[in-house]
Structure 1
Amino acid sequence: MNPEERQLLERSLRLSEENNRILMRIEKRSRRAMVWGFIKMAAIVIPLVLSIFYLEPYLDKAVTNYKSIQDLIGHMDIAF
C-alpha cells in the first residue's frame, strides 16, 4: 500500500469514527425525546382518567338534577 492510499484510508477511518460519534449522540437524544414525550403524555392523560373516575358520581348527580329541572320546567309549560 502506498503512502497516499494509507493516508486516504486513515482519513476515511477518522471520518467514519466521527460519524459514528455523531450518530450515537443523535440516537441518545432521540431516546431522551421519546421518553420525555411519554412522560408528558402520561402527565396529561393520567390525571384526566383519574378525574373522570373520581368525578363520575358527582356528574351523575348533576345530570339527574338537570333532568329533574327540565321535567319541572316542562310541567310548568304545560300548566300555562
Structure 2
Amino acid sequence: MDKLLKERRIIIFGNLFCIFILVFFTYINWNNLSMLIPAWIVISILEIILMIAYFDNKKGIQNYKNNIELYKNLAKDLNND
C-alpha cells in the first residue's frame, strides 16, 4: 500500500509540474498553444519512464542489501566451521 501511495504522489506531482510548465510557456507565447497536447503526452510518457526507473532502482538497492546480509551470514557460517 505504501508503494502505491508513493507512485500516486509521484504521478500527481509530475502532472502538476507538467501543468505549471505548459501554462507558463503558453502564457509567454500564445503560439505554443497548439503544442500543449503533444507536449503533455511526451512529458507524461517521460514521467512514466522515470517512475519505473525510480522504483526499479529502489528494488535493486533492496536486493543489494539482501545480498550483503546473505554474504555476512555465509561468512559467519564458514568461520564457525
Q: TM-score range by the shorter chain?
A: 0.5 to 0.7
Q: Which has the larger radius of gyration?
A: 1
The alpha-carbon deviation at position 20 of structure 1 amounts to 1.1
Unpaired runs of 5+ in structure 2? 1-31
Amino acid at match of 2:77: P
Q: Distance in 1 between matches of 2:77 and 2:49?
A: 43
RMSD between superposed Cα atoms in Å: 1.3
For residue 78 of structure 2, the aligned residue among 33, 48, 53 is 48
The alpha-carbon deviation at position 2 of structure 1 amounts to 4.0
Amino acid at match of 2:72: A
Structure-2-length-normalised TM-score: 0.56
User: For residue 24 of structure 1, what is the aligned residue in structure 2?
Assistant: 54
Higher relative contact order (CA 8 A, sep 6+): 2
1:1-80 aligned at under 5 Å gives the runs 1-3=32-34, 5-49=35-79, 51=80
Q: Which runs of 4+ in 1 moved over 4 A?
A: none
Unpaired runs of 5+ in structure 1? 53-80
Count of aligned pairs between the two proteins: 50
